[in-house]
Structure 1
Amino acid sequence: MRVEGRDTKIASDLLVYYDVHARRLPWRALPGANAADPYCVWLSEVMLQQTTVAAVGPYYAKFTARWPTVADLAAADDVDLMAAWAGLGYYARARNLLACARAVVRDHDGRFPDTEDGLRALPGVGAYTAAAVAAIAFGRRAVVVDANVERVVARLFAIDTPLPAARPRIRAEADRITPDARAGDFAQAMMDLGATICTPRNPACGICPLRQDCAGFATADPAAFPVKAVKKARPHRLGHGWWIEREGQVWLVRRPGKGLLGGMRALPSSDWGAAPDPTPPVSAAWITIDQPVAHVFTHFSLALSVHHAHVGRDAMPMDEGEWWPVDRIDEAGLPTLFARAADAVRKDRDARN
């Protein structure tokens, strides 16, 4: 809902700054263009969710070189796309990416809807992504609030209600300062401000173009905003993974389509939180690596005990899978957890030889 009495000074001051200092990113149009390729904007926004610009850059270049249009992406094989995504994390985004591309081609003749409502109807497109694409790609006035914008707005208005309860107020204030014209540039300017100046710690208020209008700056402790609720302790789980090697090939399985790391190639593993000594997928002379592989997911941490063994030509693991050349394991697109497990196996073998 539009908020009456919007503050135009903040947007005006920020856009003047953005015209000079905007980050040059491969998915962006230049300041003032007020439109960009919807496919590039959508792809980059999905990749940037909970991921840094520095990490996304190489993946974005690889994706757009391999799948330069939404139609190309829609035609991609699921396994190829998941492998290309490996290492970027939050793998549900990759599954949603493919579903959304296919819906755009199937239901919209390969063209992204140009309104927030139309974009929200696409698979995997939430409120933030819909607003970002509508504003940046189509020049629509939309209120775009990501983590950077949330922090900037909380400081501008010294919002002292702890998150997440503060989010309705933050959105209302973001609406109040979002201009009718150049909403896409304004959204990107706010993102840049949060990423480069109004950072979580030690904000560079001395060079901020909005410091004179910032209530947080006036408190002399802008880093106190936004106020965050006390985090709950992250549960710790245990699991087991098995490296089964036969004649220079390792057995890889496909994880279930839904759930963590869904659809990804992986080493066979137990349930995470399973019994201390689960049954291995095949009988073998197992060697257990001394140090488990540690990995932190969003909602829990995991210690994966890794076991490796050579098996005979006739050995066949219980689960469905495929034999993959060991010397090409880096091409399998293993998610980070299992890529680390593969590295641990190779280091353990080198140490024993």
Structure 2
Amino acid sequence: MKNKFALFVAGAIALLILPLFAQYFGNGWVRILDSALLYMMLALGLNIVVGYAGLLDLGYVAFYAVGAYMFGLLASPHLTDTFDWFKNTFQHGLHASVWLVIPLGALVAGTFGVLLGAPTLRLRGDYLAIVTLGFGEIIRVFLNNLDAPVNITNGPKGIDTIDSIHIFGADLGKDHTLFGIEFHSVTMYYYLFIALVIFAVLICYRLERSRIGRAWMAIREDEIAAKAMGINTRNLKLLAFGMGATFGGVSGVMFGAFQGFVSPESFSLAESVMIVAMVVVGGIGHIPGVLLGALLLSALPEVLRYVAGPLQEATGGRLDASILRQLLIALAMIGVMLSRPRGLWPSPEHGKAAPVPVPVK
């Protein structure tokens, strides 16, 4: 017990000082950590749908987009510049508080999740993946074209000049100094994101051990047997889609505030596939594994930038650095799945082999 407590304290201290150490090597490294934390929240949400309920969702990035555009519309001059009614009503601009936008983004994204789940209740496997993929592409196309005849999303130009987050009077978009230590803007966002990730982990941990979580796992293992045992598979599937979507909505709100700009290009099919890969590579249904997969696959592309550049120079510029980086990421993922078929950190219960009988002498 003492060893676990000491390990917990050491881990907490390491997480607190990590961005302060990284910012001395440049804000780019802290930004990589911030991006990894956002992907951790997304992966935890998708793990509810894929890992717990066993529903393959390839359109999860749509909920990410809903949350990001929700904050972009409510915390930027776009609506007041476009519509006279907003300009007359909010003369100083529409600058919604993050405490309002976070629950609103979660609610709207959860509603979209239920709307996605409703027509897919009878679908399984590849058919479900194709429908959810189409849903994600529909949202992206809508965001890309809702600039005419009424300009709602500003189309492919995106929405810029989005407000930064203000918490207890502190603007996270600016640098701060406390006790002689300088905290850069990206470091301030790191502490907010790490708090949200810890909160998301606690929610997922409680869900996994609740009656609802066990019912989701029963549906994942055998839906027909679960229905025969009296589990309402319809409502629980809708709940899984809705709960997972709320994580995506909150992550989207954080992304919009962190970037200060959102556009449809940030929510492509490749993003959805990458989030699914994080869950699968880390370990389906296992919270520590999902966090590890999200950390590796979000940080690896940025770290490989420092490898692809020298390789490009070594070949005399005959290889494109971006293509080479994608090749290295693909090879790394293939290597992981060949060596660890159940993921880097799989669940100890799921897929456990049957015990081997001991011969009696």
For Structure 1 versus Structure 2, the TM-score category normalised by the shorter chain is under 0.3
Q: If the length of structure 1 is used for normalisation, what is the TM-score? A: 0.23
Task: Tell which structure's C-alpha radius of gyration is larger.
Answer: 1
- Structure with higher RCO (Cα < 8 A, 6+ apart): 2
